Amino acid sequence: MQDFEMLRNQIIKLVGGSSIQDIESS
């Protein structure tokens, strides 16, 4: 499961962080 968290962290860095709220909202 650690790999998934690392992957998500990289995606969050790529999007910048403003899209994180949208993802959490979903």
Return the DSSP state at 5. H
Looking at residue 7, its pLDDT comes to 94
1-26 pLDDT tens trace: 689 999 988 988 888 766 566 666 65
Taking the complete model, does pTM exceed 0.85, yes or no? no
| Euclidean distance between CA atoms 5 and 21, whole angstroms | 17
Looking at residue 13, its pLDDT comes to 86
Residue 17 CA, distance from chain mean position: 8
